[in-house]
Protein backbone atom coordinates (compact mmCIF):
# COMPACT_ATOMS: atom_id res chain seq x y z
CA UNK A 1 0.00 0.00 0.00
CA UNK A 2 1.40 3.37 -1.03
CA UNK A 3 1.68 6.16 1.51
CA UNK A 4 1.88 8.75 -1.28
CA UNK A 5 -0.37 9.98 -4.05
CA UNK A 6 0.75 11.82 -7.13
CA UNK A 7 -0.86 14.45 -9.36
CA UNK A 8 0.92 15.57 -12.50
CA UNK A 9 0.26 18.36 -14.94
CA UNK A 10 3.09 18.62 -17.45
CA UNK A 11 6.30 19.36 -15.57
CA UNK A 12 4.41 20.23 -12.36
CA UNK A 13 4.12 17.36 -9.91
CA UNK A 14 2.36 17.32 -6.54
CA UNK A 15 2.99 14.46 -4.14
CA UNK A 16 0.72 14.14 -1.14
CA UNK A 17 2.53 12.61 1.80
CA UNK A 18 -0.33 10.65 3.34
CA UNK A 19 1.62 9.40 6.34
CA UNK A 20 4.47 10.29 8.63
CA UNK A 21 7.81 10.69 6.87
CA UNK A 22 10.07 8.35 8.78
CA UNK A 23 12.69 5.66 8.20
CA UNK A 24 9.84 3.27 7.32
CA UNK A 25 8.26 5.42 4.61
CA UNK A 26 11.24 7.43 3.30
CA UNK A 27 12.56 4.72 0.93
CA UNK A 28 9.23 4.59 -0.90
CA UNK A 29 9.17 8.39 -1.27
CA UNK A 30 12.82 8.41 -2.37
CA UNK A 31 12.01 5.98 -5.20
CA UNK A 32 9.03 8.09 -6.24
CA UNK A 33 11.05 11.34 -6.21
CA UNK A 34 13.85 9.76 -8.26
CA UNK A 35 11.32 8.56 -10.84
CA UNK A 36 9.76 12.04 -11.02
CA UNK A 37 13.15 13.66 -11.54
CA UNK A 38 14.15 11.11 -14.19
CA UNK A 39 10.82 11.68 -15.95
CA UNK A 40 11.54 15.41 -16.27
CA UNK A 41 9.46 16.83 -13.42
CA UNK A 42 10.87 20.29 -12.72
CA UNK A 43 8.29 21.79 -10.37
CA UNK A 44 7.80 19.52 -7.34
CA UNK A 45 5.39 20.22 -4.49
CA UNK A 46 5.15 17.94 -1.46
CA UNK A 47 1.87 18.30 0.42
CA UNK A 48 2.39 17.63 4.13
CA UNK A 49 -1.22 18.16 5.23
CA UNK A 50 -1.49 14.50 6.29
CA UNK A 51 1.87 14.34 8.05
CA UNK A 52 2.38 14.66 11.79
CA UNK A 53 5.87 13.18 12.26
CA UNK A 54 9.17 13.78 10.51
CA UNK A 55 12.29 11.95 11.68
CA UNK A 56 15.99 12.32 10.79
CA UNK A 57 15.67 9.99 7.79
CA UNK A 58 12.78 12.07 6.43
CA UNK A 59 14.75 15.28 6.96
CA UNK A 60 17.76 13.82 5.13
CA UNK A 61 15.50 12.83 2.23
CA UNK A 62 14.05 16.35 2.01
CA UNK A 63 17.53 17.90 2.00
CA UNK A 64 18.60 15.48 -0.75
CA UNK A 65 15.49 16.41 -2.76
CA UNK A 66 16.30 20.10 -2.30
CA UNK A 67 19.81 19.44 -3.61
CA UNK A 68 18.37 17.69 -6.67
CA UNK A 69 15.95 20.53 -7.34
CA UNK A 70 18.48 23.33 -6.95
CA UNK A 71 19.32 25.64 -9.82
CA UNK A 72 17.97 26.13 -13.28
CA UNK A 73 14.23 25.85 -13.72
CA UNK A 74 13.73 23.26 -11.01
CA UNK A 75 11.67 24.16 -7.93
CA UNK A 76 10.77 22.37 -4.72
CA UNK A 77 8.09 23.42 -2.25
CA UNK A 78 6.67 21.84 0.89
CA UNK A 79 2.99 22.74 1.20
CA UNK A 80 0.62 22.67 4.20
CA UNK A 81 3.39 21.88 6.65
CA UNK A 82 1.99 21.41 10.19
CA UNK A 83 3.19 23.93 12.76
CA UNK A 84 5.34 21.42 14.70
CA UNK A 85 7.19 20.21 11.62
CA UNK A 86 7.56 23.76 10.30
CA UNK A 87 9.05 24.82 13.64
CA UNK A 88 11.53 21.93 13.45
CA UNK A 89 12.56 22.92 9.92
CA UNK A 90 13.03 26.52 11.09
CA UNK A 91 15.12 25.38 14.06
CA UNK A 92 17.32 23.41 11.68
CA UNK A 93 17.48 26.49 9.42
CA UNK A 94 16.27 24.60 6.36
CA UNK A 95 12.65 25.75 6.04
CA UNK A 96 13.47 28.38 3.46
CA UNK A 97 15.78 26.09 1.52
CA UNK A 98 12.97 23.52 1.31
CA UNK A 99 10.40 26.13 0.31
CA UNK A 100 8.32 25.16 3.35
CA UNK A 101 4.95 26.85 3.78
CA UNK A 102 3.03 26.37 7.00
CA UNK A 103 -0.56 25.42 6.50
Q: pLDDT tens for residues 53-98?
A: 999 999 999 999 999 988 778 899 999 999 999 999 999 999 999 9
Q: pLDDT tens for residues 23-55?
A: 999 999 999 999 999 998 889 999 999 999 999
Residue 58 near residue 66 (C-beta atoms within 8 A): no
Domain residue ranges in the chain? 4-102
**CATH 3.30.750.24 is the classification of domain 4-102:** yes
The neighbour count for residue 46, using CB atoms within 10 Å, is: 25
* Residue-wise burial string across 8-24, b where 16 or more C-beta atoms lie within 10 A, e elsewhere: eeeeebbbbbbbbbeee
Strand partners, 4: 17
Give the span between the Cα atoms of 48 and 17, in whole angstroms.
6
**Main-chain phi, psi angles of 15, to 5 degrees:** -110, 125
Amino acid sequence: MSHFSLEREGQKVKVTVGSDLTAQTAPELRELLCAILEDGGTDLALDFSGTMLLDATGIALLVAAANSYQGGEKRLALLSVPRGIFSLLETLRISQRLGAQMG
